Structure 1
Amino acid sequence: MERQPCVYLLSSGRHATIYIGVTSDLMGRLHQHRTGAVPGFTSRYNVKRLVHYEMAETMEAAILREKQLKAWKREWKVALIERDNPFWEDRAVILGFPPLT
C-alpha cells in the first residue's frame, strides 16, 4: 500500500477501548502499534486491533476527520465500526498482518 492519508480506529477487543489515529503510512503505523514500538496509550492498554479505517485525499482532510470522530459520542463510533465490521474483526489481517495472539 502506497503512502496515503488515512484515519484509523484501533480497539483492544469487541466493545472495548477505542483509539483513533491519523497517518500517511497505515502499514508502517500498524506495525508500530502491533509491536509496541512507540510507548503510549495503545501499548499501555494493548490496543492493536484495526477495526476501521478510511483513506483521505489529503492529510488535512484526514486530520479533520480524525478530529470529527474524536468528538463523537462512543455509541456513534461503535455504530461506525459495526456498519462494516459487526464482529470487530482485525482488518490488519486483510492487509497482510498475521492474526493477533
Structure 2
Amino acid sequence: MEAYTYMLYCKDGSFYTGWTNNLQKRLAAHNEGKGAKYTRVRLPVKLVYYERYSSKSAAMHREYEIKQLTHGEKMSLCSDLNDKLF
C-alpha cells in the first residue's frame, strides 16, 4: 500500500501536516471543509509538499517528524515553492 505524508499551506499562513493513502482525495476533502478540524477554518489550503512511502507506519513516522519542525524549517522544506507562496 502506498502512503503519503503531506504538508498544506493554509490561508492564514500556517502549515498543516498529515498522512493519507490517497493524496488527491484527501486534498479535495480538506478544501471542501471535510478534512481536519484545523483546516476547516483556514481555507483554502494548498498542497506544498509531499513524500511517498511504501507503508502507513513510515508515512505516520515522517508526519510526526515534520510536525516537530519550526515554521521556518517547514518553509525551507518546501523552498522550491517559496516564490509562489510567501
Q: What is the TM-score normalised by the length of structure 1? A: 0.74
| Highest RCO, 1 vs 2 (Cα 8 Å, sep ≥ 6) | 2
- Structure 1 segments, 4+ long, off by >4 Å, are none
What's the C-alpha RMSD, in Å, of the aligned pairs? 2.0
**Relative to 1, partners in 2 of residues 1:32 and 1:57: Cα closer, same or farther, differing over 3 Å?**
same
Shift of 1:36: 1.1
Aligned length: 85
Which of 26, 30, 38 is the equivalent residue of 2:23? Answer: 26
Other-structure match for 2:4:
6
Normalized per residue, which structure has more strand? 2
Identical positions, percent: 27
The one-character-per-residue Cα deviations of 1:1-60 (angstroms, maximum 9, x if unpaired) are xx62000010125x9110001001111101101111246110112151111111112111
Which of 30, 33, 37 is the equivalent residue of 2:34? Answer: 37
Equivalent position amino acid for 1:58 in 2: S
Which of 82, 87, 95 is the equivalent residue of 2:83? Answer: 87
Unaligned runs of 5+ in 1: 90-101
Unaligned runs of 5+ in 2: none
Shift of 1:70: 0.4
Which of 60, 63, 84 is the equivalent residue of 1:63? Answer: 60
Give distance in 1, aligned partners of 2:58 and 2:36: 26
Normalized per residue, which structure has more helix? 2
